[in-house]
Amino acid sequence: MSGRSVAVVGATGAVGREMLATLHRRSFPVGSLRLMASARSAGTSLDTPWGEVEVEDLAEADPAGIEVALFSAGGARSREHAPRFAAAGAVVVDNSSAWRMDPQVPLVVVGVNDAAARAHRGIIANPNCTTMVLLMAVAPLHRAAGLESMVVASYQSVSGSGQTGIETLSAEVAHFSQDAAALQYGGWADPGHGMYARPIGFNVLPLAGALAEGGYTDEEWKLVNETRKILDAPQVAVEPTCVRVPVMVGHGLAASCWFSRPLGAEEADRLIEEAPGVRVWRDRVPTPLDCAGHDEVLVGRLRETLGRPGGISLWVVGDNLRKGAALNAVQIAELVI
């Protein structure tokens, strides 16, 4: 395969850097590479596997000649610039929420709904990281038995908030560690200046994302709407709760799912194990520490439902910077070229 002209937009961010690493790790045929970001980062240089590349100002960059553009620059920049890249002939794979629910834009999880990518009109949306990790486990069951309803709670790492989330957790862990007894008996001092509504260090926040319609957060609505679009199952009932946890990398989800027919644990285990990009752990419990830095999504605690028999409960965890973002984006690019 001949080398391709590739642009990474948002190249200086956590996901942008992971996109570069993923392109190299998967031997993507990069013939020429351009890096773009906001004006603040323009003019700096990044050392890449293809040599040192100067970062361009996205607002002023000419997209002519670019064949594949991987966007991870936020929704506002994607809405403004992705159409002009597509108009210039690039296939844009966008990691923001800007295009996910546009009916003209495919929303693709590679390994789940690959065929949808072929219907693109220049832009393909990368789903939310929690939705992608979850559907790697649930989609094989849906294909076999037809998902009807799902109750799901996410346990989302701080890297889902970007580099600032990682820095916030590090600072707050250091702050609270100076007075560990206060965590046990009370009287702790607020670290202040955090990016979350409450401290995240040694804590759990049952509010991931911003409040939206009906008292649910935008992260919770993404689980509802994106699941329906990706599975092409608009009637699926999803009851979500999204939680931020003091973990650096790796989103976990606990889900109970019911289908158009009863599904047993043995069949569910086989269906998931046979699916690409996902692995069932039977002898130990998969955790964020196990998935960090790995492409595969891990599934454990696979069991039949109790209160409402006939369904499957499971735990799934995946690296939100890899399959939840950069890996899936590069996999989409591999599909379309």
Catalytic residue set: 129, 251
Cβ-proximal residues to 213 (8 Å cutoff; 6+ apart), any chain: 221
Q: Is 142 helix (H, G, I), strand (E, B) or coil?
A: helix
- CA 252 – CA 14 distance, rounded (Å): 19
β strands within 106-146, DSSP E: 123-125
Residues 6+ apart with CB under 8 A from 197: 205, 207
> Does an H or E element contain 267, and which?
helix 265-274
d(CA 152, CA 135): 11
Quick one: the chain helix, strand, coil %, rounded to 5?
A: 35, 25, 40
Under a CB-based contact definition with an 8 Å cutoff, are residues 99 and 329 in contact? Answer: no
Largest alpha-carbon pair distance within the chain? 63
Q: Which of 83, 86, 53 is nearest to 67 (CA)?
A: 86
Whose CA is closest to 120, among 74, 196, 168, 69?
69
